[in-house]
Structure 1
Amino acid sequence: MRKISIMIPCYNEQDNVWSICKAVQAVFERELSEYNYEILFIDNKSKDDTRKILRILCKEDTRVKAIFNMKNFGQFNSPYYGLCQTTGDCTILLCADFQDPVELIPTMVHEWEKGHKVISMIKTSSKENPLRYWLRGMYYKLIRAMSDVQQIEHFTGFGLYDRSFIEVLKTLDDPTPFLRGIVAEYAPDHLEISYEQQKRKAGKTSNNFFSLFDAAMLSFTSYTKAGLRFATFAGFIVSGVSFLIAIFYLIQKLNHWDQFIAGNAPILIGVFFLGGIQLFFIGLLGEYILSMNTRIIHRPLVIEEERINFTETDDRVRDASI
């Protein structure tokens, strides 16, 4: 009997983990009864009762497993590490807040049985805030235009990954993995399926401006050189324009010594303009250096505090992924 892993990352999802677990179990009992399965929750140091509920779920059913992180390791490291700890013939990455419809699990499994190794679920519409969805769309188009790797628009990681691709993830040894870019780079023949993203069933998202900005910068520094190239070109252009303006002022002053008064305004405007450009690109360069520094230090993806319902075979999978 083939085994399917459902991997669900969570952080402060006490209002959702019980419901999402029961919903996934119902899907397998109703439509995928011919498969064995496991449901793996990886908790990123929740501050609410998420872990308490997960312990109850694991006690009720040994097919429900849990990994408790020692601290919050971020929105990318924890899901990536969780994928590498699954033991199924394929793994489905699913959000705990019901924005990823559990009803699509059988569709992905049936496509996997047809031979598709990676299935990416693409948001073609969303019930979230329209402005936020539009801004996300602009971001995806920008990163796709700037990246050397053909990025996948409106792909959040929700999808199915064959065991062979999970093994690829284990070999990458990247301390700051960006799963969306990795799928675009190493799974070029992935199947894309459209869906409408739902509203959160309960609770409040932990994403804020800073976490979204961190995600954007990780993708830019990992998969684009356009920012640094743009800085080089902008430097040449601004230098050229400044030189032409200086020549113009020199000629005007020589020809109209008494009438032409330059004043301080052009100088102040030029200083603030060039200072703003310099600060912007110094910050951008700092983002690249920060990304390099994180990779050079090479800290572990996750440090576990506890794992529940794992067997010796599962532990060997863990050792192979570290």
Structure 2
Amino acid sequence: MKLISIVTPCYNEEGNVEEVYQQVRRIFDELKIYRYEHIFIDNASKDNTLGILKKIAKEDKNVKVISNARNFGHIRSPYYALLQSSGDAVILFAGDLQDPAYMIKEFLVKWEEGFKVVLGVKTKSEESALMFAIRKAFYNFINRVSEIELTKNNTGFGLYDRKIIEILREIDDPYPYFRGLISDIGFESYKIEYNQPTRKRGITSNNFYTLYDIAMLGITNHSKVPLRLAAIIGFALSALSLLIALIYLLAKLLFWNSFTMGVAPVIIGLFFFSSVQLFFVGIIGEYIGSIHTQVLKRPLVIEKERINFEERIPNEEVLSK
């Protein structure tokens, strides 16, 4: 019997993890041809999420729990949990009940047909219309500037064959952009559309900073366009400045007595060029920050404890694979 790994990252999801567990269990109670393991990774929740997970794991050995020593963020923690899976296929399934559990069956059908990657793609969402529009605009932008074609409106929800996980283990990236890596690996993916429901309980841990962080990570990891734009715009503005200077010079020579330079153009020009410089200094800073993170080579997460795993895999062993 093939083993399917379900990976659920969670942070302050005490109101949802029990139902997430029950939904997955019901799915595999129907799918008798598979064995399964359900890996929850708790990112140092401040509520009773870990306590509930420990109770579930005590009653059901199919449930495995990893508890992080601290909050390592929404990028590193889920990725680390994927590397701890041992299934023939791995399904990333969020702990906020915004991923439809019934799609697990659809993922497995397409996997059995030979697809190494099966992705859930949001065509509609019951979340804020403004937020969905912003996300859509970001995906369109990053696809235009990226060196590879990224899957739009995919949050990571999907199935990944064991072969994909083995490749990810060989990629030594301490701060990975998971969605970009899946596209970068290059295997053909099958996409299943769905309507994302609203969160039933709790409050999302995502905020402007976390969304900005993942957006900039996607851009810096997969595009050099912003850096090249800095050079192109620099040349263009230099040429424009020279042209305006020549126009002012000619105007002054032709209309010496009536034409006055004025202070306003100087001030406006100064602030304009300063803002452009600061913008591109910030862009360069993002790339330098990305390099800095890579150079530090810190582990993805540090475990506090793990439950129902046969043996513990040290952090350094995982990173060295």
TM-score above 0.5? yes
Deviations 1:82-124 (A, max 9, x none): 0000111110000011111001111111111111111111111
Determine the structure 2 residue equivalent to 1:282.
281
Distance between the aligned counterparts of 2:257 and 2:200, measured in 1? Answer: 74
Whole-angstrom distance in 2 between the partners of 1:118 and 1:66:
25
Match of 2:122 in 1: 123
Deviation per CA, 1:46-102, whole angstroms, max 9, x where unpaired? 111100101101101011000011111111111110000011111000001111100
Deviations 1:110-156 (A, max 9, x none): 11111111111111111111111111100000000000111111011
Specify whether residues 27 and 154 from structure 1 end up closer, same or farther in structure 2 by C-alpha distance, changes over 3 A only. Answer: same
The alignment covers a number of residue pairs equal to: 320
1:85 to 2:45 alignment: no
Percent identity of equivalent pairs: 46
Shift of 1:321: 5.2
Alpha carbons 1:5, 1:40 under 8 Å: kept: yes
How far 1:255 moved relative to its partner?
Answer: 1.8
Alpha-carbon distance, 1:315 to partner = 3.9
Q: Distance in 1 between matches of 2:315 and 2:163?
A: 14
Whether the 8 Å CA contact 1:84–1:321 is kept in 2: the answer is no
Structure 1 unpaired stretches of 5+: none
For 1:156, the equivalent position in structure 2 comes to 155
2:171 corresponds in structure 1 to 172
1: CA distance between counterparts of 2:145 and 2:280? 16
AA in 2 matched with 1:237: A
Residue 318 of structure 1: how far off its partner (Å) = 8.9
Matched ranges for 1:191-210 at <5 A: 191-210=190-209
172-181 or 187-196: bigger deviation: 187-196
Aligned mates of 1:56, 1:318 — CA distance in 2: 29
CA distance in 1, matches of 2:2, 2:318: 21
Task: Kindly indicate whether the alpha-carbon contact (under 8 Å) linking 1:85 and 1:317 is maintained by their aligned counterparts in 2.
Answer: no
Give the drift of 1:300.
0.6
Q: Distance in 2 between matches of 1:68 and 1:175?
A: 19
* 1:201-220 equivalent positions in 2, closer than 5 A: 201-220=200-219
CA distance in 2, matches of 1:319, 1:309: 19
SS at match of 2:155: strand
1:41-190 matched pairs, under 5 angstroms:
41-190=40-189
Match for residue 13 of structure 2? Answer: 13
How does the TM-score come out when normalised to structure 1?
0.97
Please state whether the residue corresponding to 1:287 is helix, strand or coil. helix
Partner residue in 2 for 1:272? 271
Answer yes or no: is the 8 Å Cα contact 1:87–1:317 preserved in 2. Answer: no
Structure 2: distance between partners of 1:316 and 1:261: 73
Shift of the alpha carbon at 1:320? 4.8
Query: What's the secondary structure of 1:36's corresponding residue?
Result: strand
Deviation at 1:319, TM superposition (A): 3.7
Query: Hey, what does 2:258 align to over in structure 1?
Result: 259
Question: If the length of structure 2 is used for normalisation, what is the TM-score?
Answer: 0.97
Q: In structure 1, how many angstroms separate the alpha carbons of the residues matched to 2:235 and 2:18?
A: 58
| Inter-partner Cα distance in structure 1 for 2:313 and 2:2 | 20
- Separation (CA, whole Å) in 2 of partners of 1:167 and 1:84: 8
